[in-house]
Amino acid sequence: MTLIIHKFGGTSVKDAERIAAVAEILTQVEHRPVVVVSAMSGVTNQLIAGARAAAEGRDTVYREIKAGLLTRHLGAVDALLTQSRERLEVGGFVEDRLHELERLYRSIAVLGEVTVRGLDAVSSFGEQLSSHILAAALRERDARAEAISATEAIVTDDTFGAARPLMAATRTRLLARVKPLVERGVIPVITGYIGATETGVTTTFGRGGSDFTAAIVAAGLDADEMWIWSDVDGILTADPNIVPQARTLPELSYSEAADLAYYGADVLHPKTVVPVVAAGIPLRLRNSFNPQHPGTLVVQAPHADRERLPAIISTNGLTLVAVGSRDDTWNLALTARALQCLSAASVDVPMFSQSFSEHMLNLVLHEQDQAHALKVLQAEFDRARIDNFTFGVKEKVATVSIVGAPGWNTKGIVSHAFAALGELGTRVIAVAQAATEHNVSFCIPEDQMADTVRFLHRDLGLGGE
């Protein structure tokens, strides 16, 4: 019988209502499902914020985070589960785990710092909670389901924060721990994002890593397909919240999808592609809010006659930090140093550009990382005894990337885009362009993002008014 790995992201399990919808989808499929689930949306961010607060001795902050997580998860348990035994068991599990989290926070507070290893331990709690709640919601619907912690099934190296799976060992464990459940008609609900070293220490694959987990499970179990469920109808030509006329790209190759992911299409994590590509497993991107829609199919060799369209990818909630030197001493080594220390501190840098004439590095960061990033950079420069650098912060920026489909438009997407932005009067703060003429990214003021995306969508002939 067909085996399909289903991955549900944070928005698909963000509250009781959405978890119920997911359980509904899973009880209606006509194949054997294996589930990989993310933490409820926003939970991983909160867990990490709590760890940072603990390290800085801000006790009330981490206590409030823990209390908020308790209320939110117990709320979902209460709303979803009617049988008192399940409510007690799952509710008790939630309380135990969050008690453990508080203990971890307290030890971080005592140490006054959090290691990458500690951060992984803290970050792993979200998926532990969501997987148990979803499994119980399935049992509530008379399906047989069991929550499984990936620390039992996925073996990784000890690169905390960005672990790599050890595939042979993982496969053995998946076959021993997960396969027999599937054969008995039980739906395994596996935690995304996390794994454990051979000696059992919790690791994570890095932010957004649940897709990668699903791909590892798909490859390890020789699945027929892997479906990634989110809150949009697959990969679209633009964000449908901005452009209601945005169209779904029906079929893409693995490498086209990876390109889009690289530019920030958050429907797919770049690393995801690796295990499924190697195994040639088809991937489907679907909408848990609109399960009737077929979504986007991603395969090794798409049909030659499929429709090819470019896509506009926009991201807001960003901030621009310009790092430079007061004289002309800013150089590539300093850029490398800055990027390296941010990467080591798990700060995601969605885009950067380097300007030598102005002696600076423009870093586009997520708003919530700004304070932390500045602190990390400051510490790094202090350590290197570089004291003539400057920081400039420009809050509320967005990035807009246009990723072309080769052969779609011979005029070249890049010049087209520049002309359009000029016509609209969008202020371009920074540009990053691929060596190919197909892709280009702009950093622009956040309040101009929606208009810019709509304008480009129409201007590129993709529709809209």
Number of residues that bind Mg ion (CB under 5 A): 2
Pick from 50, 118, 165, 208: which binds ligand ASP (CB under 6 A)? 208
Is residue 193 a contact point for ligand ASP (CB under 6 A)?
A: yes
Is residue 33 a contact point for ligand ASP (CB under 6 A)?
A: no
Stretch that binds Mg ion, among 6-14, 160-168, 331-339, 446-454 (CB under 5 A): 6-14
CB of 43 or CB of 281, closer to Mg ion: 43
Q: For residue 359, give the H/E element and its range.
A: none
Is residue 287 a contact point for ligand ASP (CB under 6 A)?
A: no
207 touches, from ligand ASP, Mg ion, none (C-beta below 5 to 8 Å by class): ligand ASP
Instruction: Tokens for 40, please give them.
Output: 């409820």
Could you give the residue ranges of the DSSP H alpha helices within 356-431? 370-383, 413-424
CB of 157 or CB of 348, closer to ligand ASP: 348
Q: C-beta of 208: minimal distance to Mg ion in Å?
A: 5
Task: Spell out where 46-162 has E strands.
Answer: 145-148, 155-156
Q: How many CB atoms lie within 10 A of CB 216?
A: 32
Encoded amino acid at 186, one letter: V
Pick from 4, 5, 7, 10: which binds Mg ion (CB under 5 A)? 10
Is residue 38 a contact point for ligand ASP (CB under 6 A)?
A: yes
203 touches, from ligand ASP, Mg ion, none (C-beta below 5 to 8 Å by class): none
Is residue 165 a contact point for ligand ASP (CB under 6 A)?
A: no
CA pair distance 80, 95, nearest whole angstrom:
17
Q: C-beta of 38: minimal distance to ligand ASP in Å?
A: 3
Site for ligand ASP in 210-249 (CB under 6 A): 210
Pick from 16, 23, 33, 44: which binds ligand ASP (CB under 6 A)? 44
Is residue 39 a contact point for ligand ASP (CB under 6 A)?
A: yes
Is residue 310 a contact point for Mg ion (CB under 5 A)?
A: no
Shortest CA distance to 237 belongs to which of 348, 366, 430, 400?
400
CA pair distance 100, 290, nearest whole angstrom:
37
Phi, psi angle pair for 464, to nearest 5°: 110, 165
Site for Mg ion in 38-77 (CB under 5 A): 38
Instruction: Tokens for 452, please give them.
Output: 């810019």
Judge contact between 284 and 298, C-beta under 8 A: yes
Shortest CA distance to 133 belongs to which of 179, 183, 92?
92
Number of residues that bind ligand ASP (CB under 6 A): 12
CA pair distance 161, 48, nearest whole angstrom:
12
CA pair distance 194, 154, nearest whole angstrom:
8
CA pair distance 349, 335, nearest whole angstrom:
13
Q: C-beta of 206: minimal distance to ligand ASP in Å?
A: 8
295 touches, from ligand ASP, Mg ion, none (C-beta below 5 to 8 Å by class): none
Residue 333 to residues 33, 330, 336, 341, Cα–Cα distance (Å) = 49, 8, 5, 12
CB of 14 or CB of 359, closer to ligand ASP: 14
Residues 6+ apart with CB under 8 A from 279: 218, 219, 222
Instruction: Tokens for 238, please give them.
Output: 């633009």
CB of 227 or CB of 330, closer to ligand ASP: 227
Stretch that binds ligand ASP, among 55-63, 95-103, 206-214, 233-241 (CB under 6 A): 206-214
Is residue 126 a contact point for Mg ion (CB under 5 A)?
A: no
**Strand 202-204 and strand 194-197: pairing?**
antiparallel
Is residue 206 a contact point for Mg ion (CB under 5 A)?
A: no
Q: C-beta of 312: minimal distance to Mg ion in Å?
A: 22
Phi, psi angle pair for 341, to nearest 5°: -75, -30
Q: C-beta of 205: minimal distance to Mg ion in Å?
A: 12
> Binding string to ligand ASP for residues 104 to 143, with x set by CB under 6 A, is what?
----------------------x-----------------
Give the sign of the dihedral formed by CA 205, CA 211, CA 214, CA 220: negative
CA pair distance 92, 69, nearest whole angstrom:
14
Phi, psi angle pair for 200, to nearest 5°: 90, 15
Stretch that binds ligand ASP, among 36-44, 137-145, 353-361, 374-382 (CB under 6 A): 36-44
Is residue 10 a contact point for ligand ASP (CB under 6 A)?
A: yes
Is residue 50 a contact point for ligand ASP (CB under 6 A)?
A: no
Q: Which residues bind Mg ion (CB under 5 A)?
A: 10, 38
Q: Which residues bind ligand ASP (CB under 6 A)?
A: 9-10, 38-39, 44, 126, 192-193, 207-210
